[in-house]
Chain A
Amino acid sequence: MRAKDYINGVKSGKISAIKTVKSILDEIKKINKDYNYFNNITDELALELAEKIEKNPKGRLAGLPVSIKDDICVKGVETTCSSNILRGYKPIFNATVVKKLVDEGAVIIGKTNQDAFGFGSFNINTDYKVPRNPLGKTRVTGGSSGGAAGFTALTEFPHVAIGESTGGSIAAPCSFCGVQGLTPTYGAVSRYGLIDYANSLDKIGAIGKCLDDVELVFDVIRGHDNKDSTSLNEELSNNNEVKTIGLIKETLDIDPKIKDLILKKLNELGIEYEKVSLPLTSKYSLASYYIIAMAEASTNLSKYCGMRYGQEEKLDLPYNEYFSDVRTKYFNKEAKRRIILGTFTRMAGYRDAFYLKAMKVRTLIINEYKKAFRRYDLLVSPSMPIIAPKFSEVDKLTPAENYMMDIMTVGPNLAGLPHLSLNAGVYNKMPVGIMFTGDHLNEKKLFSVGKKYGV
């Protein structure tokens, strides 16, 4: 059932929010034994919110079950980013998105699994149990918002997931699990209460079974927020007309079966498209993205040192030794790898060659996209170069090969451009995603082409 139909049912008294919420909570518990989508199921909070709605069924999301990625703060609910170092941390405030959702009647059902701090493309770097693909348990969900996309695909109840993307963490799991996900323009949704991975890249977005659900929730969570100094004080563009689409040539150098599926879908759309080349983005976005993301992550993660919140130990070690002890004990391998590389690229002597260079390359990449948008309303590419791989296949990849899987998604994320991943069909019994990218604040064009697409 579409979220809108369910919400109308709740408002007219035909559907009980309490009954629905109880059923979805039961379902989560059953599913979680095998699939590990939730780090924390918020029974008490969910029932309290559902009762409130049943008494007074108001709000644009009246009674709608919404899951929250575990890097977004929910007051009084354990929020860990799937990292051991934050086990036990209960925020004393709600993230702006959570406040907006609850104010409009949404029911928060739990915190979803992810790669710890968002560090991963497959959701295997979680300190909780690894989530499994809803269409094949031997395969990954994709990451880092793996729990969010996996549960969205598997549940039959009305539900929307709040995810977050730094370099592709919404598009990747949506592609692998066969659901729809919007990564908005950087700054269109407040980051207040989002636990930072990389400040200049992080974006909160929505994942749904159908595009309507995604749009409904995006409309609630977007907008300027005084509490986030990078929040944009600008409205979305009202232009939703899509006349021309540029198909990014360099993204087609993949498995021909995936390529054919994408081309077939585009032809079905009946929208004029032509091939466009983005040479700089294709060649340099991966390096530029990972340098910036790791540099920012290494500074953001310096606050986890065994004081103020998160894991603490007995204070019987010398000053520096204490911090090193806590960090070594509770950060996982991937977090350590990124902290070390990020620290290296910011060090005296290397800063200009890596960090500053990456920031300059980002300027060139943004310019390349802006030039393309003078000619095209939207750009299109596959969301991922592959279908969801098996765990045994991912185990064989080196870290560098792992990072290369993000080749389609890092470009728009680096440039802060809104992008929408939609299910394009099935290859080898697994979903394939198609990704539309728009200019800054052009989300309405994405929704307009998505509607034509019919998901």
Chain B
Amino acid sequence: MKINKEILQGVANNARIKLSKKEVDELLPQLNGILKIFSQLNGINTNNIEPSFQPVEVKNVFREDRVESCKEDVLVNVKNKEDRYFKGPKSI
């Protein structure tokens, strides 16, 4: 499997990373070299094998559904804020 410039730009756009033409030219052969390694997995049969999303079995852990107040100042690392809110770019 190989990716081309169009796919690369589409993926980068989804990931919110801007790439210059020079970066695309540099990245494309690198990524295809890595995908060649990834494609080695085609050589192994995984029919009827369950995926391991964790290396050891982990069960769901629930806590009591109780509202707790946050004692720390979560806005301490924020530059763009107003009153008690984070501020982001305009959405409309």
Contacts and interface: CB of A to CB of B under 8 A. Distances in A.
Contacts of A339: 15, 17
- Among B17, B35, B36, chain A packs the most CB atoms within 10 A around the CB of B17
Contact of B30 (A312, A337, A361, A414): A337
A340 B91 contact: no
Contacts of A340: 8, 11-12, 15, 17, 27, 31
A90 B52 CA distance: 35
A391 interface: no
B79 interface: yes
A232 B38 contact: no
Contacts of B42: 353
A204 to B, nearest CB: 15
B77 interface: yes
B15 A90 contact: no
A309 B80 CA distance: 10
Interface string A224-237: 00100110100000
A18 interface: no
A94 B31 CA distance: 37
A403 B31 CA distance: 12
- The secondary-structure label for the interface of chain B is loop
Interface in B8-51: 8, 11-12, 14-19, 27, 30-31, 33-44, 46, 49-51
A280 B45 CA distance: 11
Interface residues of B, number: 54
Contact of A317 (B7, B56, B89): B89
A363 B58 contact: no
B90 A319 contact: yes
B18 to A, nearest CB: 4
Contacts of B55: 186, 200-201, 362, 366, 414-417
A92 B91 CA distance: 29
Contacts of A185: 56
SS of A interface (majority): helix
A203 to B, nearest CB: 10
Chain A, interface size category, equals 35 or more
Interface of B: 1, 3, 7-8, 11-12, 14-19, 27, 30-31, 33-44, 46, 49-56, 58, 60-61, 63, 72-74, 76-80, 86-91
26 contacts: A229-B61, A230-B54, A232-B56, A284-B41, A287-B39, A288-B41, A290-B34, A307-B78, A307-B80, A309-B77, A327-B15, A327-B16, A337-B30, A340-B15, A341-B34, A343-B11, A347-B14, A353-B1, A362-B55, A363-B51, A364-B46, A398-B33, A400-B37, A414-B55, A415-B55, A416-B56
Interface of A: 88-90, 92-93, 185-187, 200-201, 226, 229-230, 232, 280, 283-284, 286-288, 290-291, 298, 302, 305, 307-310, 312, 315, 317-325, 327-328, 331, 336-337, 339-341, 343-345, 347, 350, 353-354, 356-364, 366, 398-400, 403-404, 414-417, 440
